[in-house]
A and B are shown apart, each in its own frame.
Chain A
Amino acid sequence: MGRPFFMVARMKDTNQSNENVAIFFCRQIDSDQDAHRRSLERERGSRIRFYPLPCTGRVEALHFLKALEAGANKVYLVMCPPGVCRYGQGNTRARKRLEYAKGLIREAGYSDECLEVVSAPGPLPVSIDGIARQLLDRAEVDLPVRPA
């Protein structure tokens, strides 16, 4: 586990923002997530990377830290609305893990605002690229730029 397995490339210089966004999301919220996320990835280039999960309950604190380590300065976890997790408690567990990861981030001297949980608006399915566009529009990057 020595090398980061999430490759969030730094944004190209042609783009004026230094924003790199990683979005972990539950595949259950968007039945056509593959096409939706790829279209946005093509549009925005390397400034945004998606990590589809079979359920957000599969996410671990390490995933968030690795994403930050690999260059993301904002990491979102997009989960299904409360009470509708297909696997029962996946989103509840994911929220706890994100909170745990926030503690680790703070301990390392960073603002925990770089990690954010987002509940998808109901009813499902929704479009992940639509949610991502909203997040990108309001993303405020306040973390120091880390070495690539």
Chain B
Amino acid sequence: MITAERKPLSEIRASIGPYKKVLMVGCGTCVAECAAGGEKEVALLASQLRLMAAKEGREIELKELTIDRQCIYEFIDQVTPVVDKYDVILSLGCGAGVQAMAEVLPKIHIIPALNTTGLAETKEQGLWLEDCRGCGDCKLDRFADVCPITRCAKSLFNGPCGGSKEGRCEVDPDTPCAWQAIVTRLEETGRLDSMDDIEPPANWAKTQGKGPRKIVREDQRT
């Protein structure tokens, strides 16, 4: 899923600036799962903003609305009927959600309340771990399903750097060494021989340098 973290309240406050009528739009999918932008987080942020406004002696009108997905136009249509009543939208969606809403709602300022951080798995309750950079050229099968691009601090393709100690990364000892995990899994699945294969450099042209990546499926299009 896409993970995100809420921006500091001071930054959100500065972005809202003089606006008095704010439509807060949450997203009920990825950012709800990582407790950053779901219905509950929208309510928490709204409560904080109301308390802050009361302390500053300002008036603010906040409307809370959480849609299933901010990145799908059909869901954004739930925002369209009410948007005219507000000065600004404060989006608790990921970067894709904010931009999709901007596409559908061209006449209103949309402020992001989250910093989108990446693609992650829910490792345990309250812990989300990034494990995919969306490189566009997945080689997980060759690395025992452990992504060295994401999980190795040096993104090494051909074995460990030699700096890890007791299975921990030398860059961040809190992080397990990705190559330790790769070797362990290769052993457990009887594929340790594949360590002899040399992995060529990644084709980074698939992920950057050409603007936004695009997927076209003619069979899905109208």
Using CB atoms and an 8 Å cutoff, list the residues of chain A in contact with chain B.
1-2, 60-62, 65-66, 68-69, 104-105, 107-110, 144, 146-147
Contact = CB atoms under 8 A, between A and B. Distances in A.
A-B CB proximity, top 9 nearest: A65-B47, A107-B9, A1-B43, A108-B51, A108-B52, A146-B54, A108-B48, A109-B55, A62-B44
B55 A107 contact: no
Contacts of B21: none
A108 B55 contact: yes
Contacts of A105: 51
A110 B9 CA distance: 13
Given A2-B64, A104-B44, A107-B9, A65 B51 contact: yes
Contacts of A109: 51-52, 55-56
Interface in B46-82: 46-52, 54-56, 62-64
Given A1-B64, A107-B8, A61 B52 contact: no
Interface residues of B, number: 21
A65 B48 contact: yes
Nearest to B44: A62
Given A2-B64, A107-B8, A146 B55 contact: yes
Contacts, number: 50
A140 B143 CA distance: 60
By CB atoms of chain A within 10 A, which of B40, B48, B49 has the most? B48
A8 to B, nearest CB: 14
A69 B52 contact: no
17 contacts: A1-B39, A1-B64, A2-B46, A2-B62, A62-B43, A62-B47, A65-B48, A68-B51, A69-B54, A104-B47, A105-B51, A107-B10, A107-B48, A108-B48, A108-B51, A109-B52, A144-B55
B43 to A, nearest CB: 4
Given A1-B64, A69-B50, 6 more contacts: A1-B46, A2-B63, A62-B44, A108-B48, A144-B55, A146-B55
B27 to A, nearest CB: 15
Nearest to B43: A1
A105 B55 CA distance: 12
Nearest to B8: A107
Contacts of A62: 40, 43-44, 47
Nearest to B59: A147
A111 B221 CA distance: 55
A69 B46 CA distance: 10
Contacts of A66: 47
By CB atoms of chain B within 10 A, which of A60, A61, A65, A147 has the most? A65
A147 B54 CA distance: 7
Nearest to B45: A104
